[in-house]
A and B are shown apart, each in its own frame.
Chain A
Amino acid sequence: MSNVSIITGNHAAALGAKLSGVQVVAAYPITPQSQLAEMLSQFVESGELKAEYVRVEGEHSAMTVCISASTVGARVFTATSANGLLYMHEQLHWAAGSRLPVVMCCVNRGVGAPWSIFNDQQDSFSQRDTGWMQIYCRNNQEIVDTVIQAYRIAEEVYAPVMVCYDGFVLSHTMMPVDVPDAEDVKKYLPPYRPHTILSPDNPKTINSVLFPHRRENTEGVLCDGFMEMRYKLQAALERAPETIKRANSEFAAIFGRDHGGMLWEYKADDAEFVITGLGSVASEATVAADTLRDEGIKAGVIGIRVYRPFPREETIKAFSKAKHITVLEKSLSYGYEGGLCSDLKAAFYGAGINATIDNYIVGLGGRDVKAREIVDAVKSSTSATDRDVLKIKPKWLNCFTG
């Protein structure tokens, strides 16, 4: 039986955390995340959600609370945006290095200076190398479902998951959402089993100093050095796509919704012109693909759902027939190009994909990205004849560049 409500993305995320039975919530308000922090307070204070809510004095502490609470065995949740996420940066590394299944929503917003409260994805992109898995949602249904899936993934991989969704575009936009049944979620999501519990029952010093080499314990067993621990985190994330895909397919079996495991496709099967991106911008691109098809251009969309671990194998397969690829990105690595564009090119190297690739920087600081602009972008890239590889640069969509 479906239970459809018309709710915002923040509301969907709050319901996802509640349905996942989080035991500790720590949050600090920031636009556009605030409504999520408020809703969870409402759930906790009204008794709908039995959890400890720590109203911390900053985001660095929010993530710290999640780390320590997770270490004693609690399921934890937090959410933030933009500068709040950046303020947490040190703790993001710490959470991943501790191999803790923290789940956090990043309500994507542009990063200052200068200030912008509006959407782009520079915040989560700048946290790419912290050891967190990153999943980008394209609508509010996917947000609630992905938060629940994120706990399955995080607690199996023993690494944290960032569920990213676009500020205002999703966070404050009402959409119909089929709210998962609480009993079904319990069946889907087993209780959290920590790999190590900090407890007086079995005293340990956790995360103490390591020297470069491996060292023996008192029983003469050679224990990991810093580098072995880092290798294990990498190996866990390399294996994670299997977990992510299974979490998605088992979710689909119970709830009847398949959001794609690592990526999703729209009319991509026979597409010669493939548009790609993360989150709601890729969703907007589906409208552009339809327009292009109306004009006789075989266009399709491949949405990157999981950005870390990077879906190398999946993208090589999905893009194998593409002739022109348009990468839309709401962030960039200054001085080079969009990070997704770089990663796709690196994945394609040696894989026999020789499509032209055009990188468009779009929608920074909340600038509108309209389907017809995407259509024009795809068309102009197909007609381009001056493809001097020495001079390839990202193009700026709907931006005065002098």
Chain B
Amino acid sequence: MNTPENLFKINAKEYILPGNRACQGCGLTLAYRYALKALRENTIVTLPASCLCVLHGLYPLTPVTVPALNCTFASTAASASGLVAGLNALNRSDITVVAIAGDGGTFDMGIQALSGAAERGTDFIYVCYDNEGYMNTGTQRSSATPIGALTTTTPVMTKQQQKKDLIKIMEAHDIAYLATTSPSYPIDLYDKFVKAKKIKGTRYIHIHTPCPPGWVYSPRDTVKIGRLAVETGLAVLFEVENGRFRFTGRSKTIAEKGNRLPVINYVEKQGRFKKMSIEQLKQMQSWVDTKWSEYMQRAER
């Protein structure tokens, strides 16, 4: 709940200065702003070619006041491994290393390095901001794109497959902490980063990140679209700590009250789904229902 008390606890300091190159209404900008507030000083970020790289600006200027190292697309988690190893070797292991990549750099090209780093138990936070496609390069399909979505590489037929369940893959690595969140729920996001910073080992945070140009909705509706994703169960807020699953925030309320909305409420607001067939809509609903019931069973355990 965004009560005033909750809002006051958020670190007032800004780590992204006004004026950056992200798109109007960018969900990532919101998420990154709150993530950095939670992570605070003594943090090093590493990031691949991505929307975040654009947000970080053109040399020699940047609006971001935390140290950051750009890395190649496939290498984000390995880059974090190198930072951790280097800092350990220099007795600076007090610094939190954070790798942040989009879904393309995580679900697709970066999965090998991420799996390797997680298996090694590398002491870092990996953040995937999932805007469900290659948005930086112009909205091409990724394995995170949902079924029925138009992208520039599925321009006629729409995407034929369901989204890859990367969160499940990450959980299978038995990491120290795993959480999902959304910039539409900044307190939920903030709390999870605060918690992650205190935990040792590999921590994975998945941020469902609305993207106005890629998803084809008005920039003013970013928060609304992000909320609808949670209301319909397409994005679920939860955390897994030491193997224990727990719903958080709005998803917890939905789980308790059973008032989850049908996915059509989310789909109909976005231009990317305008060519979605009835069959695809059914498949998406059924996919969400299955995932949701899995989560419900785990929450009851």
Q: Interface on A for B, CB 8 Å cutoff?
A: 23-24, 26, 51-52, 54-58, 60-61, 64-74, 76, 90-91, 94, 198-200, 202-211, 215-218, 223
Beta-carbon contact of A57 and B44 below 8 Å: no
Interface status of B88 (Cβ within 8 A of chain A): yes
Beta-carbon contact of A203 and B67 below 8 Å: yes
Q: Which of A65, A70, A73 contacts B81 (CB 8 A)?
A: A65
Interface status of B60 (Cβ within 8 A of chain A): yes
Interface status of B120 (Cβ within 8 A of chain A): yes
Beta-carbon contact of B44 and A210 below 8 Å: no
Beta-carbon contact of A60 and B75 below 8 Å: yes
Contacts of A209 in B (CB 8 A): 53-54, 56-59
> Chain A interface: which of B89-97, B213-221, B228-236?
B89-97
Contacts of B120 in A (CB 8 A): 54-55
Q: Considering residues A66, A73, A200, which has the most beta carbons from chain B within 10 angstroms of its beta carbon?
A: A200
Contacts of B138 in A (CB 8 A): none
Interface status of B46 (Cβ within 8 A of chain A): yes
Contacts of A91 in B (CB 8 A): 72, 75
A214 to chain B, nearest CB (A): 9
Contacts of B42 in A (CB 8 A): 200
Q: Which residue of B is nearest A200, CB measured?
A: B42
Interface status of B65 (Cβ within 8 A of chain A): yes
The CA of A380 and the CA of B95, in the complex, are separated in Å by 65
Contacts of A60 in B (CB 8 A): 74-75, 78, 113
Contacts of B86 in A (CB 8 A): 23-24, 52, 68-74, 76
Q: Which of B46, B59, B95, B119 contacts A200 (CB 8 A)?
A: B95
Q: Which residue of B is nearest A25, CB measured?
A: B85
The CA of A56 and the CA of B85, in the complex, are separated in Å by 12
Assess A217 versus B61: contact at CB under 8 Å? Given A203-B66, A206-B70, A209-B54.
yes
Q: Interface on B for A, CB 8 Å cutoff?
A: 41-44, 46, 53-54, 56-62, 64-72, 74-75, 78-83, 85-90, 92, 95, 112-113, 115-116, 119-120
The CA of A205 and the CA of B78, in the complex, are separated in Å by 18
Chain A to chain B contacts (Cβ below 8 Å), 30 pairs: A52-B85, A54-B81, A56-B81, A57-B116, A57-B119, A64-B75, A64-B79, A66-B82, A67-B79, A68-B46, A68-B69, A69-B85, A71-B69, A72-B44, A72-B86, A74-B85, A74-B86, A74-B90, A198-B69, A199-B95, A200-B41, A200-B42, A200-B95, A202-B67, A204-B68, A205-B56, A208-B62, A209-B54, A209-B56, A215-B60
Chain B binding surface SS class:
mixed
Q: Which residue of A is nearest B85, CB measured?
A: A52
6 residue pairs, one from A and one from B, having the closest CB atoms? A68-B82, A57-B116, A69-B86, A61-B78, A65-B82, A64-B78
Contacts of B54 in A (CB 8 A): 209
The CA of A54 and the CA of B116, in the complex, are separated in Å by 10
Assess A54 versus B82: contact at CB under 8 Å? Given A24-B89, A204-B67.
yes
Beta-carbon contact of A200 and B66 below 8 Å: yes
The CA of A181 and the CA of B269, in the complex, are separated in Å by 72
Contacts of B58 in A (CB 8 A): 208-211, 215
A239 to chain B, nearest CB (A): 24
Contacts of A203 in B (CB 8 A): 64-68
The CA of A64 and the CA of B74, in the complex, are separated in Å by 10
Q: Which of A54, A65, A72, A205 contacts B62 (CB 8 A)?
A: A205
Q: Which residue of B is nearest A199, CB measured?
A: B67
Assess A56 versus B78: contact at CB under 8 Å? Given A71-B69, A208-B56, A215-B58.
yes
The CA of A301 and the CA of B142, in the complex, are separated in Å by 56
Beta-carbon contact of A71 and B83 below 8 Å: yes
Q: Which residue of B is nearest A52, CB measured?
A: B85
Contacts of B59 in A (CB 8 A): 208-210, 215, 223
Q: Considering residues B59, B80, B92, which has the most beta carbons from chain A within 10 angstroms of its beta carbon?
A: B59
The CA of A52 and the CA of B122, in the complex, are separated in Å by 12
Contacts of B43 in A (CB 8 A): 200
Contacts of A202 in B (CB 8 A): 67
Q: Which residue of B is nearest A216, CB measured?
A: B60
Given contacts A200-B42, A200-B44, A205-B56, 18 further A-B contacts (CB under 8 A): A54-B81, A54-B120, A60-B74, A60-B113, A61-B112, A64-B81, A65-B78, A65-B81, A66-B82, A73-B90, A74-B89, A94-B72, A199-B67, A204-B67, A205-B69, A206-B67, A208-B56, A208-B57
Contacts of B56 in A (CB 8 A): 205, 208-209
The CA of A112 and the CA of B90, in the complex, are separated in Å by 39
Q: Which of B46, B72, B116 contacts A58 (CB 8 A)?
A: B116
Q: Which residue of A is nearest B43, CB measured?
A: A200
The CA of A198 and the CA of B95, in the complex, are separated in Å by 11
Q: Which residue of A is nearest B75, CB measured?
A: A64
Assess A26 versus B82: contact at CB under 8 Å? Given A200-B43, A209-B54.
yes
Q: Which of B61, B70, B74, B82 contacts A24 (CB 8 A)?
A: B82
B249 to chain A, nearest CB (A): 30
The CA of A56 and the CA of B69, in the complex, are separated in Å by 20
Q: Which residue of A is nearest B63, CB measured?
A: A205
Contacts of A198 in B (CB 8 A): 44, 67, 69, 83
Contacts of A57 in B (CB 8 A): 112-113, 115-116, 119
Q: Considering residues A68, A203, A210, which has the most beta carbons from chain B within 10 angstroms of its beta carbon?
A: A68
Q: Which residue of B is nearest A208, CB measured?
A: B59
A263 to chain B, nearest CB (A): 34
Q: Which of B57, B72, B74, B87 contacts A72 (CB 8 A)?
A: B87
The CA of A74 and the CA of B87, in the complex, are separated in Å by 8
Q: Considering residues A66, A70, A72, which has the most beta carbons from chain B within 10 angstroms of its beta carbon?
A: A72
Beta-carbon contact of B70 and A90 below 8 Å: no
Beta-carbon contact of B60 and A72 below 8 Å: no
